Amino acid sequence: MVKSAIDIRIAEHAGFCFGVRRAIRLAQEALKKSKKEKICSIGPIIHNPQEVERFSRMGLEVVGEVDEISKGRVVLIPSHGISPQRQLDLEIKNIELIDTTCPYVKKAQEAAARLSKEGYQVVVVGQKEHPEVKALVEFAGGEGSIVVKDATEATGVPILSEKLGIIAQTTQSKANLNNAISALLERGFSEIKIENTICSDALNRQVAAKNLAEDSDIMLIIGGKESANTRRLFDICKRIKLDTYHIET
């Protein structure tokens, strides 16, 4: 029997992104240094169950609500950030905060707040139920802001203002953002201001995955099933290569 060789190639920029690596480093440092009560994070610090489990074994507790956290504890803000109100609620409880929010997410939060302050109704292109997007909505003023996942939603969503400020979830693809922007432009609003808040690290991974998919027979996308970044890579490759699989372990 003749066995044919299998050519296995790893995409350029594979592995955890800059923001996740930073969050992991800060969490590890906090766990090593802290001699206080058990450290906790407000939600999973990153969307990778294997790393979350590893941190759990190291002593990091994941809690869902601020009410679950007692005064004086050390709390990690996750890499995808939290809303301003949630952070204020934590600060009121005299809690030591270690902020692992990705700098790219911080940039998006600042853009959302700035656009809202300048009088724009903010449109976030992203996944409505993702924690990062929920926080961006709060930074943009809450109920007045709008989330659209794609151009189709951007075409039909009711918008009250003639001044729109557009930002994106940091893991969005450039194509999806541009299509949504085009759909909004076609609606003839008097003023639109666009802030490019897509993470360049995520964009590099998307380009590398696309290039590899175009020259491969099968694509395996390895990462957390709840990771927006990983799901975006899967979607991009699936459109190019039908034999694309998202696996976690």
Catalytic site residue from 132, 162, 226, 248:
132
Question: Among this protein's residues, is 248 annotated catalytic?
Answer: no
Partners of 75 in the β-ladder: 40, 97
DSSP state of 90: H
Task: Show the DSSP H helices in the chain as ranges.
Answer: 18-33, 49-58, 84-92, 103-117, 131-139, 151-156, 174-185, 200-213, 228-240
Rounded to a whole number of angstroms, the distance between the first and last alpha carbons of the chain is 31
Burial 114-134 (b: 16+ CB within 10 A, else e): bbbeeebbbbbbbbeebbbbb
Q: ∠ CA(68), CA(85), CA(224), 5° rounding?
A: 65
DSSP calls for 95-159:
-EEEE---HHHHHHHHHHHHHHHTTPEEEEES-TTSHHHHHHHHHTTGGG-EEESSHHHHHHS--
User: What is d(CA 35, CA 238) in angstroms, rounded to the nearest whole number?
Assistant: 47
Catalytic residues: 132
